[in-house]
């Protein structure tokens, strides 16, 4: 785990492994999560959910034996707008007559006796009229469709080149953040106060304000408590809990209400990674030079729109992999089904489509009789090449160098020839890329703002809505701010995100925090440094805080057309290569990923230890998705809703991980940073699948790769 960096020695904090700011508190149990909050007089809330995937609610029965008149009971009629505002507001906060998925909220109950609430919740009976429902893709209705057209597609497939097709599938994945979803809400006057576990305070703010039809922004105050992981699972979903807890509290006359999910409820009702089906058809010369590609990329969106159109978009945009395709026809389809809505999950569609293309290339190489690494090398993107959206690659990705380093570290060639094909042991490789930040004009719409404030007690406070969710936001922002200001990092303070008190720096998603929001922190820091003009912080702010704000500006030339799906999809790309080494037990067909190597270009590495942590964690999560994380669905709903039977790798299963960075700085990111959070999920599944194919001779086309499939 070494860093190959060309970082300037004159930097004092950037590029150094500054210790994680909240690390000691988390390690010693001092951190307070929302469920740790002691709120006197709080009621305990609980959600009553549908048990059928499609139909109508006919009747709700409250059986005898419970003091129902003591309970707060709330439902859709109590809410001014029964809608969760996101891209569209099609998802209701409660079943609006029609049941569209199992685990959908029907009503809420609350009582001060938590035990009684749980008992009562189990006793409530719902009578339904049942409809059939739609499960799986390519049936029912299309939720969103996208198309990318590039080059002379007909020509590419017309002139007798090698045409090769394949079909690839990936399963759903549950986030398994260690802290389940939770909110505590109460009303003060005509406004509501919300404390919870989430990634995006202003998303929650927008949804609550909309549902309660409130006029003023200051009527909703959302605070982020210490959050035990998110991985995308706390991007859009928490809005629902926020509305629910706020509603119960309002019905209780403003009394605080705790709405904390237990693991089974959380897994059953919350979002998952979208299952996918990708069909790829490629045309290339016999020597393996790519001519054209046709990709149909399908994802299961579940019952409501939520974020699926954007997941589809990112998945489709990454579906060709980091290769030069002179011609392309890429179609994306997201399907409505009667599953709980699928949602944001680290990688946001790209891990699905990049699995497909990277598995396809190994299969194509076998068909052509070319080494899969050689095939990739013949087609890698280079500076000046055009992507299917007409974006010109603006930097030299040096993918050969990245791949060669991975091969060297893993001793790939010698090991592979030593093992030989089909002997239960093997290596596999994948190459991938990931666009930093929101897609297309997304960052422009977000219009993010950060503020730095020099305060009278001698501290500079960072004010952002970007959240610390275990990835290191507080630490890297402090590094960036201290560097830009030229002051000691001990004089930097991070303001706990609270809407109204911090500006909206956008959601903590899309690998945008360090690079894009961090870039704004850098600008604000340089600006504040000028404003301070050499005075020390306390002196300068003696008569009032000195404040600097920075607002997002699109890099010059970054133009995107949403209608034609042409233009610059992302301002920067991270690049990477994984090598997986696997073994398959001859008796049980158990698959073990022995080791994985990862070489990444994430631009400037602001904090090496944190970056390695991000990447290793993501690799482990990607290996889990590829090997054992199997969401067992029945009529669209997850059945294995326990950590006992939804199998994530334990430390005893974990592969040995080796990570190195190659730095190509991004002129628009904080001190040259690009996105790091999501790219680690893009590569492991295909690297593992390619290795398993080598080791077993089985043509793997789907993940998770279960021993049951290998033995069949």
For other proteins, which is the closer residue by CB, 319 or 627?
627
Min dist CB 583 to other proteins, Å, is 12
Nearer to other proteins, 124 or 602 (CB): 124
CA distance 237 to 266: 10
φ/ψ of residue 414, rounded to 5: -65, -45
Tokens describing residue 88: 């569209």
Give the integer Cα–Cα distance in Å for 231 and 216.
Answer: 31
- Beta carbon nearer to other proteins, 119 or 398: 119
CA 379, 382, 386, 387 dihedral sign is: positive
Nearest in space to 239 (alpha carbons), one of 271, 207, 217: 207
Tokens, residue 450:
């950060």
Please count the other Cβ atoms lying within 10 Å of the Cβ belonging to residue 461.
Answer: 18
Phi then psi for 99, rounded to 5 degrees? -85, 125
Smallest separation, CB 182 to other proteins (Å): 9
Tell me whether residue 83 or residue 265 sits nearer to other proteins (CB atom): 265
Q: Closest CB to other proteins among 159 and 650?
A: 650
Dihedral, CA of residue 563, residue 567, residue 569 and residue 575, to nearest 10 = 150
Burial 355-368 (b: 16+ CB within 10 A, else e): bbbbbbbbbbbbeb
What sections of 457-541 are H helices per DSSP? Answer: 473-485, 518-532, 537-540
| Tally of CB atoms within 10 A around 564 | 12
Closest approach, Cβ 593 to other proteins, in A, equals 11
Structure tokens at 216: 């003023």
State the nearest-atom distance from the C-beta of 98 to other proteins, in Å.
Answer: 28
The count of other CB atoms within 10 Å of the CB of residue 302 is 28
Query: Would you say 299 or 655 has its CB closer to other proteins?
Result: 655
310 or 633, CB closer to other proteins?
A: 633
Minimal distance in Å, beta carbon 121 to other proteins? 8
Whichever of 482 and 638 has its CB closer to other proteins, that residue is: 638
Q: Which residues bind other proteins (CB under 8 A)?
A: 35, 113, 115-116, 118-119, 122, 180, 260-264, 586-590, 592, 628, 632, 639-640, 642, 644-645, 647, 649-653, 707-708, 711-712
In the complex, minimum distance from the CB of residue 556 to other proteins, in angstroms, rounded to a whole number: 50
Nearest approach in angstroms of CB 657 to other proteins is 16
Pick between residue 120 and residue 387 the one whose CB is nearest to other proteins: 120
436 class by beta-carbon count within 10 Å (0-12 exposed, 13-18 middle, 19+ buried): buried
Do the bridges between strand 327-336 and strand 290-302 make them parallel or antiparallel, or are there none, so unpaired?
parallel
Q: Give least dist CB 628 to other proteins, A.
A: 6
Least distance to other proteins, CB of residue 178, Å: 13
Spatial distance between the Cα atoms of 424 and 272, rounded to a whole number of angstroms: 32
Residue (554 or 647) nearer to other proteins, CB: 647
From the centroid of its chain, how far is CA 508?
Answer: 9
Q: What is the DSSP string of 110-136?
A: EES-HHHHHHHHHH-EEEEEE-----S
Burial of 652 (0-12, 13-18, 19+ CB in 10 A): exposed
Minimum CB separation of residue 677 from other proteins in Å reads 26
Contact present, 492 and 529 (Cβ < 8 Å): no
* Per-residue DSSP letter, 323: B
Of 580, 649, 593, 642, give the one whose Cα is nearest residue 621. 649
Task: Return the number of the residue (609 or 643) whose C-beta is nearest other proteins.
Answer: 643
Return the number of the residue (543 or 644) whose C-beta is nearest other proteins. 644
Shortest approach of other proteins to residue 351 CB, angstroms?
A: 21
**Shortest Cβ 630–other proteins spacing (Å):** 9
CA distance 5 to 660: 10
Which two structure tokens, joined as six digits, stand for 656? Answer: 């040995």
Q: What are phi and psi of 401, to 5 degrees?
A: -65, -40
């Amino acid at each position: 785990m070494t860093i190959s960096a060309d970082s300037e020695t004159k930097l004092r904090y950037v590029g150094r492994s500054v210790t994680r700011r909240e690390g000691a508190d988390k390690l010693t149990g001092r951190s307070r999560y929302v469920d740790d909050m002691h709120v006197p007089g709080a009621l305990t809330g609980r959600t009553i959910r549908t048990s059928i995937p499609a139909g109508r609610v006919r009747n709700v029965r409250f059986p005898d034996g419970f003091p129902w008149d003591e309970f707060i009971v709330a439902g859709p009629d109590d809410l001014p707008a029964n809608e969760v505002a996101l891209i569209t507001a099609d998802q209701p906060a409660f079943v609006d007559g029609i049941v569209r998925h199992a685990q959908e909220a029907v009503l809420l109950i609350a009582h001060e006796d938590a035990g009684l609430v749980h008992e009562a919740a189990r006793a409530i009976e719902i009578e339904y009229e049942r409809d059939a429902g739609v499960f799986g893709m390519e049936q029912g209705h299309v939720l969103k469709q996208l198309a990318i057209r590039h080059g002379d597609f007909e020509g590419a497939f017309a002139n007798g080149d090698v045409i090769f097709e394949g079909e690839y599938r990936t399963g759903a994945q549950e986030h398994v953040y260690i802290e389940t979803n939770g909110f505590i809400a109460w009303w003060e006057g005509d406004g509501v106060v919300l404390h919870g576990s989430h990634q995006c305070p202003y998303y929650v703010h927008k949804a609550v304000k909309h549902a309660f039809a409130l006029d003023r922004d200051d009527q909703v105050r959302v605070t982020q408590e210490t959050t035990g992981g998110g991985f995308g699972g706390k991007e859009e979903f928490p809005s629902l809990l926020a509305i629910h807890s706020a509603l119960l509290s309002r019905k209780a006359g403003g009394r605080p209400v705790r709405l904390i999910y237990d693991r089974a409820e959380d897994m059953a009702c919350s979002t998952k990674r979208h299952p996918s089906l990708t069909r790829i058809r490629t045309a290339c010369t016999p020597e393996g030079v790519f001519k054209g590609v046709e990709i149909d990329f399908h994802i299961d969106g579940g019952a409501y729109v939520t974020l699926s159109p954007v997941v589809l978009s990112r998945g489709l945009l990454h579906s060709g992999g980091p290769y030069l395709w002179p011609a392309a026809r890429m179609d994306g389809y997201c399907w409505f089904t009667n599953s709980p809505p699928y949602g944001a999950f680290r990688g946001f569609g790209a891990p699905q489509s990049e699995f497909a293309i990277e598995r396809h290339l190994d299969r194509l190489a076998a068909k052509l009789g070319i080494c899969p690494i050689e095939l990739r090398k013949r087609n890698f993107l280079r500076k000046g090449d055009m992507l299917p959206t007409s974006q010109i690659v603006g930097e030299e990705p040096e993918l050969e160098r990245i791949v060669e380093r991975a091969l060297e570290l893993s001793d790939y060639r010698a090991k592979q020839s030593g093992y030989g094909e089909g002997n239960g042991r093997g290596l596999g490789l994948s190459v991938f890329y990931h666009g930093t930040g929101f897609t297309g004009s997304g960052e422009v719409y977000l219009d993010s703002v950060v503020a730095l404030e020099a305060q009278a007690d001698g501290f500079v406070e960072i004010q952002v809505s970007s959240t610390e969710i275990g990835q290191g936001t507080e630490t890297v922002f402090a590094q960036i701010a201290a560097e830009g200001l030229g002051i000691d990092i001990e004089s930097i303070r991070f303001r706990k995100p609270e809407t109204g008190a911090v500006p909206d720096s956008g959601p903590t998603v899309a690998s945008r925090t360090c690079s894009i929001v961090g870039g704004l922190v850098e600008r604000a820091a340089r600006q504040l440094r000028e404003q301070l003009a050499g005075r020390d912080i306390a002196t300068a702010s003696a008569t009032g805080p000195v404040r600097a704000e920075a607002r997002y500006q699109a890099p010059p030339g970054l133009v995107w057309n949403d209608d034609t799906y042409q233009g610059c999809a992302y301002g920067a790309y991270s690049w990477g290569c994984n090598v997986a080494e696997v073994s398959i037990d001859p008796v049980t067909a158990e698959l073990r990923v022995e080791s994985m190597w990862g070489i990444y270009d994430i631009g400037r590495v602001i904090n090496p230890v944190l970056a390695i942590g991000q990447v290793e964690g993501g690799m482990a999560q990607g290996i889990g998705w590829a090997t054992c994380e199997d969401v067992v669905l029945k009529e669209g709903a997850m059945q294995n809703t326990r950590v006992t039977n939804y199998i994530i790798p334990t430390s005893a299963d974990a592969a040995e991980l080796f990570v190195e960075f190659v730095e190509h700085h991004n002129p628009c990111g904080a001190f040259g940073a690009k996105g790091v959070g999501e790219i680690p999920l893009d590569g492991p599944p295909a690297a593992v699948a390619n290795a398993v194919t080598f080791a077993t001779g089985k043509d793997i086309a789907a993940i998770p790769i279960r021993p049951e499939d290998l033995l069949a």
